[in-house]
Structure 1
Amino acid sequence: MAYEVKGVVARSKGAPVTVETIIVPDPGPGEAVVDVQACGVCATDLHYREGTITDQYPFLLGHEAAGTVAAVGAGVTNVAVGDFVILNWRAVCGQCRACLKGELQYCFNTHNAAQQMTLTDGTALSPALGIGAFTEKTLVHSGQCTPVDPAAPATAAGLLGCGVMAGVGAAINTAGVRRGESVAVFGCGGVGDAAIAGAKLAGAATIVAVDIDDRKLEWARRFGATHTVNSKATDAVAAVKAATGGFGADVTIDAVGHPAVFEQAFYARDLAGRVVLVGVPAPDMTITLPLLEVFGRGGAIKSSWYGDCLPSRDFPMLVDLYRQGRFPLEDFVTEAIGLDDVEEAFDNLRRGEVLRSVVVLDK
């Protein structure tokens, strides 16, 4: 029997979102229905609403979510009804060329549910990142469900589903920050602050936060920044070098995804340092760098996909660290809101007033 639930829908480019009745089918083979308890409001959802990712409207928004498995389809063995799970958009296939090389974190053929959720008139919905979790129930592939300790609050745990994991993973997985190293993070929103927290967790000795908003720089200090730089008032490259003995940082992370910011990150690193891009650029953005500088500085330039995470490995680990008081997951939650408040949350996100608004679903 299909479920009728409320969900947040973006019907057309730039139009305000609406709360509508969603039809969620019973799970088919390999699928699961999840009772969503909480879902973060991420910039990616705003990009879907504004049509900068794809134009396959209408969208069922939301993807940074945690909840309880309500039903599973035939052949599902990795989760069971009642499991507390974080949803992810990297349900590894196990068969593509990346998986066969043992690099599951780069899976090129991740799974989504085969069936579609719809509006009451039968119109098929495109779920954001294959999840669609601004809703009371959602249908996903069972591999998109990662069981974690149910003692973790859903409001915090769900944020690992995208932004927090992207930032932490950029520092730990992609950059491979080591004890005693220096790190500079450019852009101190949710992803950037997660990268700072990840660098601290890895044992970085110096962590420089760079942003143009003093309020965000204060947030960055809470997550472990040892130095802050307002790049509106100060040359960011010079300031990072000054904080690192004149050499530049061992690791620089661009959490903005803008050519000017990436160039700052490139020149603010030490020789043989690592530059990581985790901020998502717009499709029309380009960058030009002197090839001799790329060669002469050595090191590595890397892109970080979803923090190069493996959900089955990284989600439980980070939840456990949070439960031990070693990772400040709850500090990313600025406010709890309802489904009707998502459009206002997008406005707050644009203005940089929140790290994360989290939609809480009443059960």
Structure 2
Amino acid sequence: MSQIVRGVIASKKGQPVEVTEVVIPDPGPGEVVVGVVACGVCHTDLTYRDGGINDDFPFLLGHEAAGTVETIGEGVTAVAPGDFVILNWRAVCGKCRACKRGRPQYCFDTFNANQPMTLTDGTPLTPALGIGAFAEKTLVHEGQCTKVDAGADPAVAGLLGCGVMAGIGAAINTGGVTRDDTVAVIGCGGVGDAAIAGARLVGARRIIAIDTDSTKLQWAREFGATHTINAREHDPVETIQELTDGFGADVVIDAVGRPETWKQAFYARDLAGTVVLVGVPTPEMRIDVPLIDFFSRGGSLKSSWYGDCLPERDFPTLIDLYLQGRLPLQQFVSERISLDDVEEAFHKMHGGQVLRSVVMLK
């Protein structure tokens, strides 16, 4: 029997979100109903609200979530009722060309629930990133549930569902940062600070944080940055080179995603260094760089989508590291709020006042 719960929707482009009743159907084959305990407020949710993803309004927002499996549909084997899970938007298919080549982190056919969640009048909702977790309960595919240690704080654990995993993965999975590397991170919001935390975790020798906001640079130091550069006061490329014996960094991570920051990353890396783009650009953005500059430098130019993560591999490991005190995931939680506070949380995020506001539902 379907259930009616409270949830946060974006009904019109650019309009404030609203809390309303959402209908959650019983899980069908391969589907799971999860009681959401906590869900982070991510910039992607704001992008959905403002029509930057697509026009499939109304949206059921929220996707950085952790909760408890309540009911399962026919054929579900990955999880059982009572399991504590982090929700993810990379439920790999196991059958596409990437999966068959042993690269499931690049899966081209990830799963979502088949049945729609709706408003009480029957209007289907589009769940953000196939999850829709600004709600007391949500319906997802079983592959979107990753079981982790139930001892983790749900407000902390859920953040691995998107931004924090994107940053950590950009450093470790995509950038291949390892012991004794020099790393520069441009943009010190949640994703950038997660990249800094990831670089520190694997033993990077020097971690340089770049931003225009002194508060964010202080946050970066708390996550492990050894040096900071205020880009309003110093040229990032010149200063990174000065801090790396004139060579440039081994890995430069652009967590902003603008042409000017990507160019800074390109020219601030060592000759055989790696650039990782994890900040999300808009469709109209273009780059004009002399082709000879590509030719005359080795190394790699990479983009990182969801931190090139594999949830079933990465989430349990990172939660274990957090519980051991080796990964300070709790520092990302700036405040705990209710469903009614999501719109205000968007304003705080846009103003750079928080790393993450987290909606607590239980």
User: Normalised by the size of structure 1, how large is the TM-score?
Assistant: 0.99
Which residue in 1 is equivalent to 2:189?
189
Partner of 1:326: 326
The residue matched to 1:297 in structure 2 has which SS?
Answer: coil
* Equivalent position amino acid for 1:125 in 2: L
Q: CA deviation at 1:283?
A: 1.2
CA–CA separation in structure 1 for the residues paired with 2:245 and 2:3: 60
Does residue 1:22 correspond to 2:33, yes or no?
no
Match of 1:337 in 2: 337
Question: What is the SS of the residue equivalent to 1:281?
Answer: coil
Q: Secondary structure at the match of 2:347?
A: helix
Return the offset for 1:77: 0.2
What is the match of residue 306 of structure 2? 306
Partner of 2:229: 229
Provide the C-alpha distance between the structure 2 equivalents of 1:41 and 1:141, rounded to a whole number of angstroms.
22
1:271 is matched with which residue?
A: 271
State the distance in 2 between where 1:292 and 1:333 align: 44
**Secondary structure in structure 2 of the residue aligned to 1:129:** helix
2 CA distance for matches of 1:125 and 1:335? 28
Segment of structure 1 superposing worse, 52-61 or 287-296: 287-296
Deviating above 3 A after TM superposition, structure 1's stretches of 4 or more consecutive aligned residues are none
- DSSP-derived class of the 1:138 partner: strand
Equivalent residue, structure 1, for 2:68:
68
C-alpha deviation, 1:288, in angstroms: 1.3
How far did 1:295 drift?
A: 1.4
Structural mapping, 1:238-253, within 5 Å: 238-253=238-253
Q: Please list, as runs of the form range in 1=range in 2, the aligned pairs for 1:95-106 lying within 5 A after superposition.
A: 95-106=95-106
1:316 corresponds to which residue? 316
Give the structure 1 partner of residue 38 of structure 2: 38
Residue in 2 that maps onto 1:58:
58
Distance 2:283 2:348 in 1: 24
Cα separation, 2, equivalents of 1:324 and 1:266: 36
Aligned residues: 362
Q: Which amino acid aligns with 1:175?
A: G
Measure the CA separation in 2 of the matches of 1:77 and 1:136: 24
Letter of the structure 1 residue corresponding to residue 110 of structure 2 = T
Residue 107 of structure 2 corresponds to: 107
| Secondary structure, counterpart of 1:183 in structure 2 | strand
Q: Deviations over 1:306-344 (max 9, x none)?
A: 000000000000000000000001000000000000000
Partner residue in 2 for 1:280: 280
Inter-partner Cα distance in structure 1 for 2:283 and 2:56: 17
Cα distance in 2, alignment partners of residues 83 and 4 from structure 1: 22
Post-superposition shift, 1:290? 1.1
Structure 1 gaps, min length 5? none
What root-mean-square deviation, in Å, do the aligned CA atoms of Structure 1 and Structure 2 show? 0.4
Q: 1: CA distance between counterparts of 2:49 and 2:225? A: 33
Q: Find the aligned partners of 1:242 and 1:324 in 2 and give their Cα distance.
A: 36
Q: TM-score, normalised by structure 2?
A: 1.00
1:229-274 CA deviation, whole Å, 9 max, x = no partner?
0001110001111111111000000001111000000000001000
Give the corresponding residue for 2:147. Answer: 147
Residue 353 (structure 2) pairs with residue 353 (structure 1): yes
Deviation for aligned residue 1:211: 0.3
Residue in structure 1 matched with residue 168 of structure 2 by the alignment:
168
Q: Deviations over 1:2-29 (max 9, x none)?
A: 0100000000100000000000000000
Measured after TM superposition, the shift of residue 291 of structure 1 is: 1.0
Q: For 2:262 and 2:125, locate their aligned partners in 1 and report how far apart those are by CA, in whole Å.
A: 35
Q: Which residue in 1 is equivalent to 2:48?
A: 48
1:128 aligns with 2:132: no
- Matched residue of 1:334: which SS? strand
Q: In structure 2, what is the equivalent of residue 201 of structure 1? A: 201
Cα distance, 1:289 vs structure 2: 1.1
Q: Structure 1 CA distance, aligned partners of 2:293 and 2:199?
A: 26
Unpaired runs of 5+ residues, structure 2, are none
Give the counterpart letter for 2:197 in structure 1.
Answer: A
Q: What one-letter code is carried by the residue in structure 2 that aligns with 1:95?
A: K
Instruction: Give, as a single letter, the amino acid of the residue that structure 1 aligns with 2:307.
Output: G
- Counterpart of 2:296 in 1: which secondary structure? helix
Provide the C-alpha distance between the structure 1 equivalents of 2:140 and 2:22, rounded to a whole number of angstroms: 14
Letter in 1 for 2:232: K
